[in-house]
Structure 1
C-alpha cells in the first residue's frame, strides 16, 4: 500500500479526523457519495472501537496496488493482542467494505479494509502524489486539527531525526576509527563505541581527565595545542600525531587526530567533529625505512672510512718500511766516518795533547764526547731499525734464562751501583729471544741509570699471570721515579726527561721496548711518582696465535 495520510487515534476529535480524511480519500479516488460514506463509516466503526478500548492506535490511509483490482485501503493498528474479530464494530465494518482482513502479532493487531475503485484511474502513481500533497495542504477544519497536524509533523520529524541519529551511530560504530564531537570548551559531546573499547574510559572520564590518561606524556603538550588552535581559529582542519594508550595491552600506539569545525546548523565554533585513525604500522614502517637509510649511509661511510684506513695503513706501512730501510742504511753508512772521527780524535788526544793549550784540550774533549754520543745514537738507531716484523722469529723462550743472561751482561754496572736485584720465577712464552733480551736489558739498564744517590738500588723482577693466557712482567725499582704524565713522551723516539749532562742516553731505550712489545702483541706502561721509584709493567700473551701474528704484521 502507498500511504497518503495518517491519523493517531486517541480521542473523539481523532475519530472526526479519521472520518473526514476517509471521505476525502474516497472522493479523490472518484467513488460515489454513497460509496464515500460507506467506506468512511467502516473506518469510523473500527476507529471508535480502538479509541474506546485500544491503546496507542493509529490509522493509515492509502492506495493498494498489489492486485489487478486497485482499491483504497485503511489500515488500523492497535497495540492490543487480545482484539477479537468477533467485536460488533469489526463485524459491522466487515459488511461495508469489499475486503476485510484481520492479522495479529505478538506485539499488535491490524485491521485492513479495502474498497475497490470503480474504474481504472489513469496515471495512478501521479495521482497518489497529488492526493498526498492535497491532504497536507488542506486547511484544518478546527484548531484541534491544526495542532494535531503540527504534532504529527513534529513526531514525523522526530522519528526521522531519531532514525538519522541511529544510522549515524551504526555507521560510526562500524567504521574502524574513533569518531567524536566536541563543544567549544573542548569537551566530548558524542563518541562512538571505539573510543571506549580502545581507551577503556567513558567520555565523562576523558573529559574529566582532559585526555591526560589517554595521551602519551611526551605528546600531551602537542595534543593540547591542537585544541587551542581549533577553538581559536574556528576554521579549517587541524591534525596532530599522538600516541594513545590501548586499554587491553597497556601499550601506546601512534594515531592521527583530526578536528574540524562543524558549521552546518550551528554557529561557527559551536561544535567540532574529530576522528582518530591508527597509523602505528605506518609510523613503524617510516621509522624502519629511516633506520634502513641511516644504516645504509653508515655502511657507506664505514666502507669509505675502511677504504681510507686501508690506504692510510698501506701508506704508513710503506713509510715505515722506507724509514726502516733508511735508518738501517744510514746507520751503517754513518758508522765508518764516526768510527774514524773517534779514532783520530783519540789518537790526537794521546799524542799531541801536550802541544796544545788548555782551551784546545777542552775543545778536543768536547769533540770526543760528541763523537761517542753520535756512535751510541747510530748504534741505537741501528738496533731500532733491526726490530722488524720480518725479522721476528717466534719460539718458546724461557724468560728466566733471558733475565739471567741480562744480569750477567750488566754485572759490572750492578756491582758499581751496589744494586740488589731480587728475582722470582718467570714464565715460558712464545717470542723472539733476541728481542726479549733487548727488552730486559733496556728496562733494567734504565733502573740502574736512574737510581738515587746515596740510596742502595733495589730492583724487584717478578711475573703475575692473569686470565686468558696473559702474563704481566714487573720491573720495580726505588730509583728517582718520574711523573706519569710524561709516559707518552718517554716511549717516543729521541725523547728524554733529563738533560744529556745529567744522565747518559740517546732516548731510544724505551722506544725500542715499546716496539718489541708491540710486535709481541703486548702492552707496556709504568706506575711511578717522583722520588719513589718506578714499576714498569709489560703485558704479554703466553702464546702468539696466528691471528695475533697476522695483526702484528699488518
Structure 2
C-alpha cells in the first residue's frame, strides 16, 4: 500500500515521505520483511499546503469584495469557442441578475448581456482572438465589462475577471472567476464625462490663452538666459584677463574703472538670475502640504545668521500657527522678508525684528514681520512689489528690486495677499495671509 508520513532525519530535520511498499510472508503466513520505495515528498506537501491557503484566501477575498464567484468547465465546439457550463456560482448572483444560483446558466447569462467590452491588455484584441490568447496561456487573465438587463428590467454593469484551469498537459478545461457589480462606478464615470464635456470649451479657451502666455514667457526666458548671458560672460571674462595680466600697465584711474566694469557685470548677472527666478515661478508646480511655520522660520533664521554682517539684530519669534502651502516657496518668502528686515535695520545700534501672527476668529491668519529700520514713505507703497522697483538707492542698500516681487507672486499663488505699513525712520511691518484658511472659534 501507500502511506504518507513524517520522518525525523539523523540531523534532526523533518521531512515528509511517501511509502510505496508491501510485506513478504513465509509459508506459515508470518511477515518476513517489508519491501518498498520511500520518496521525499516534502516540497510537494508544501506546495499543496500553499495551494490550499491560496484557495482559502481567494474565497475569503471574493466574499469580502461583494463579488459573485464562479467555476466553469468548457465543452469544446471549435478552436475559438466552447460551450460554457457553470459547475458552481455564488448565491449572490440572484442579487445581481435576479436569477437564483440553481437556475442560472450560460444560456441565461448570454440572454442578459447587451454589451461587452474587453478591458486593460485585452482591449487591444478582437473578441475571439482574446479568447484564444487567454485559453492558450499567452495572456494571464480574462477581463471584461458587461452591460446587462437584469430579470426585473434594470440595467447594470458587471465586471468579469477569470483565470484558466489547466490539466497536466497545460490544456485549458475551465476557469474560475467572479462577477462584480460596477454600476455605481460606471454611473460616476458617465457623470464625470458629462462634466468634462461641459467644461471642455472653457478649458480650450483658457488653454489657448495660457499657451500663448507661456510661449511669450519661454521666449523671454531664453532671451535672458542665452542672448544676455553670452555677452555678459564675455565682458566678465575679458575684464578678468585684463585685470590679472595687464593691471600693472594700467594707471590707477584705469584700474578703478576696470573694477567698476567687473562689478557692473557681476550685478548684471545677479539681475538676470533674479529675473529668471521670477519668470520661472509662474510655471512652478504648487506642492501644497501642512507646513509648520514656526519650524520653517527657525530654519531660515539658522541659515541666514552666519551670513549677517556686523551686530546681529535682536529677533523676537512669537508662536506661529501651521498652514497649508508649498514649503519650498514659503521658505523663499521668509528668506526675502527676513533679509530685508535685517538689511534695513542693521545700521541701528538697537536693531530689533519681531515675527508673529495675528489670529482673529473667523478671519485668515495674518503673519507679520516687523523691524525698526529706516522705513519708507507710504506714498510709494504701490511700488514695493514691482519688479526692479526700489525705494532706496543701491548706494544706500544693496539689492536688485526683485525679492519683494517674488514674495508677492508666491503669496498670490497661495491665494493670499501681502501689504506693508511704515513711516520713514520708524521701521516697517509686512503682513501676509495664505489662502482662505480661517482661524477657528475658541
Tell me the TM-score normalized by structure 2: 0.49
Tell me the TM-score normalized by structure 1: 0.39
Higher relative contact order (CA 8 A, sep 6+): 2
Question: Which one has a bigger Cα radius of gyration?
Answer: 1
